[in-house]
Amino acid sequence: MSGGDIATVGELLAHAHAMELEAQERYEFLARQMETHNNRELARLFQTLARVEGKHAREIEERMKGMDVPEIGPLDFRWEGAESPEALDLGDMDYLMSPRRALLLALAAEQRAHAFFAGLLERTADEGIRRFAAEFAEEEREHVDRVHRELRKYPEEDDRRHEDMDPAGEG
Amino acid sequence: MTVQTPRRYKASDFKSDINPIWCPGCGDYHVLLSVTRALAEMGTPPEDIAVISGIGCSSRFPAYTNCYGFHGVHGRSLALATGLKVARPDLTVLVMSGDGDGFSIGGNHFLHACRRNVDMTYIVMDNRVYGMTKGQPSPTTEPDWDSALSPGGTGLSPFHPLVIALASGANFVARTFSGDIRNATRIIVEAVQHPGFSFVEILSPCVTFRPDEREWKNMVHPAAVEPTDDPARAARRIMTDDGFNVGVLYKGRRKPFAGQVAAEAGDAAVFDEEFAL
C-alpha cells in the first residue's frame, strides 16, 4: 500500500477516516446484497463487521475535531490500488459464499490497512504523522488478530466455493 | 491553514436508496461505484443529470442512481437519450447499456448515435453474454464459447464495438475494466467532459454465466500509447490489440450536433409549428 505522499496529520486523518467509512459502507452494502440472495448467515456477519468499522470511523471523527482536515476527492486519495485498502473487492463475492471465505477476505483487507499505516510509518520523518500512523497501524493489527480469532470458529473445509444449484451455462 | 473550496458532492449523493439486485461479484457493481464517483468528481448536481437505459442487467442502472432516469425500451436507449439531449441541452446525459441491448437489439441506433455526435456519454457494460435471460451468446461473445445454450460455440465473428464506434463517427472512444475503479472513474469523467458522443466500453464480468471472466482482472493492461485524434490510426491500433487494452483510445475534434432552430429557441411553440400537420 502507498500513502507516501501524505504530508500532514490532517491528510492522514482524512485518509484514515475515509478508509473506515468506506469499509463500513462496503460491509453494509454486502450485507444487503446477501439478504437479497437469502444468505442470511453472511448478511449477519457483514452487518457485524460494518458496525465494527463504523465504530472506528466515529472514533476517528472525534480525533478530527478541531484539526485542519482537508476534503479529498475520490481520485485524489493516496491509495496504491483502485480502492481504499480496507474495502472488500465487490468482484470477489459470490452468493453462496461461506462465512469462512468472507472472513478470509476481511482478513486480507485488515492486513492491507495495516500495511498502509505501517508503510507510512517507515517512510515518514514527521513526528505528528508518525504518532498517528503508529497508533492506526497498531489498531489494524488488533483487527487482524480479531479476524483470526473469528476464523477459528469455522472449519477449513468451508474454504471451497459451494456448489451452485443453478450453474452458469446450464440454462 | 489552507483554504479550500468545499466539495459539493460525495459519491453517495448520487446513489439511490434502492438496493441493487445484480448477482454478487457482478462487474456492474463496480461500474455503479465508478459512475457515482465520477459524478461526485465533476460536481454536477444530481438534478442536472439524466441516466437513460434500455433492457438488461446493466439497464437497471437508473434505479440505482439519484439522478433523473428513464429505464426504457430494449435497444432504444440512445434514441430516447438523443431526443432528451437535443430538447434539454443543459442536462448531462449518460446512457447505460450492455452488449446485447446496445449492439444487437440497439445496434442500428448505436451507428447513428455515433454519426449524429450529440453531446452525451454512452457506457456499455460488456460481459459478452445475455445474463438476464440466463446465458445466451451476445454479439461480442467469442465464437468458441461453449455452453449448454451454444454447444461448441456460435462460430460467429464477434462484433467489434470500438472500431464500429470510430467508423461511425463517435468523438471519444475508450475501453476500461470495471474492477479498476480509479481508472474507470477517470475515463468516465473525461468522456463526459469531452464534447460530442463519447463511447466507453467497460469490460464487466458476468460471474454467473461467464465465471471465466473473473480472470479479466489479470488480463487487462493499460494502452501503451497516447490517444490519437486520427480515427484511422485509432482503428488500426484497436483492430490489432488483444481486446484487453484499456485507456482512452481516440479523442476527436468533431463539433457536436446541437439541434436546430427549435432546440436553440427552447420554445414549445416552435416545436408545435415545426410538427404542425
Residues A92-112: tens digit of each pLDDT:
998 888 889 999 999 999 999
Residue B176 CA to residue B232 CA, distance in Å, equals: 21
| Domain interval for residue B56 | 22-275
Q: Quick one: closest CA in A to B30, which residue?
A: A90
Q: What is the pLDDT of residue A83?
A: 87
What Å distances lie between residue B193 and A16, B40, B227, CA to CA? 31, 13, 15
CA distance B276 to chain A (A): 49
Inform me whether the C-beta atom of residue B63 falls under 8 Å from chain A C-beta atoms: no
Q: Quick one: closest CA in A to B34, which residue?
A: A74
Q: Quick one: closest CA in A to B205, which residue?
A: A91
Inform me whether the C-beta atom of residue B180 falls under 8 Å from chain A C-beta atoms: yes
Contact residues on chain A for B28, CB-CB shorter than 8 A: none
Asked whether residue B108 is assigned to any structural domain, the reply reads yes
Asked whether residue B11 is assigned to any structural domain, the reply reads no
Taking CB atoms within 8 Å and a gap of at least 24, the contacts of B31-34 are: B31/B58, B31/B61, B31/B123, B31/B125, B31/B178, B31/B184, B31/B202, B31/B204, B32/B61, B32/B64, B32/B65, B33/A90, B33/B181, B34/B178, B34/B181, B34/B184, B34/B185, B34/B188, B34/B202
What length is written for chain A? Answer: 171
Asked whether residue B114 is assigned to any structural domain, the reply reads yes
Say what the ipTM of the complex is.
0.88
Residue A11 CA to residue A126 CA, distance in Å, equals: 13
Amino acid identity for residue A45 in this structure: L
Q: What is the dihedral of CA B177, B123, B34, B120, to 10 degrees?
A: 140
- B118 has a pLDDT exceeding 80: yes
Asked whether residue B163 is assigned to any structural domain, the reply reads yes
Q: Each residue of B187-211: pLDDT tens digit?
A: 999 999 999 999 999 999 999 999 9
Asked whether residue B105 is assigned to any structural domain, the reply reads yes
Nearest to B179 among A37, A91, A95 (CB): A91
Domain of B27: which CATH number?
Answer: 3.40.50.970
Q: What is the pLDDT of residue B48?
A: 97
In total, the C-beta contacts within 8 angstroms joining chain A to chain B are 86
- B47 has a pLDDT exceeding 90: yes
Inform me whether the C-beta atom of residue A9 falls under 8 Å from chain B C-beta atoms: no
All residues at 6 or more sequence positions from B32 whose CB lies less than 8 Å from its CB, including other chains: B15, B20, B61, B64, B65
Count how many domains chain B has.
Answer: 1
> Do A74 and B178 count as a contact with CB atoms less than 8 A apart?
no
Q: Each residue of A104-142: pLDDT tens digit?
A: 999 999 999 999 999 999 999 999 999 999 999 999 999
Question: Residue range B27-48: average pLDDT?
Answer: 96
Residue B53 CA to residue B63 CA, distance in Å, equals: 10
Question: Where is pLDDT greater, at B116 or A3?
Answer: B116
CA distance B181 to chain A (A): 5
Asked whether residue B9 is assigned to any structural domain, the reply reads no
Q: Each residue of B223-269: pLDDT tens digit?
A: 988 999 999 999 999 998 999 999 999 999 999 997 665 555 566 77
Nearest to A171 among B12, B29, B149 (CB): B149
Residue B126 CA to residue B132 CA, distance in Å, equals: 13
Asked whether residue B2 is assigned to any structural domain, the reply reads no
- CB atoms closer than 10 angstroms to residue B1: 5
CA-only gyration radius of chain B, Å:
19
Residues 34 through 53 of chain A touching chain B, CB cutoff 8 Å: 34, 36-37
Contact residues on chain B for A80, CB-CB shorter than 8 A: none
- Domains in chain A, start-ordered, CATH in brackets? 9-159 (1.20.1260.10)
What length is written for chain B? Answer: 277
Contact residues on chain B for A73, CB-CB shorter than 8 A: 7, 40-41
* Displacement of CA B124 from its chain's centroid (Å): 4
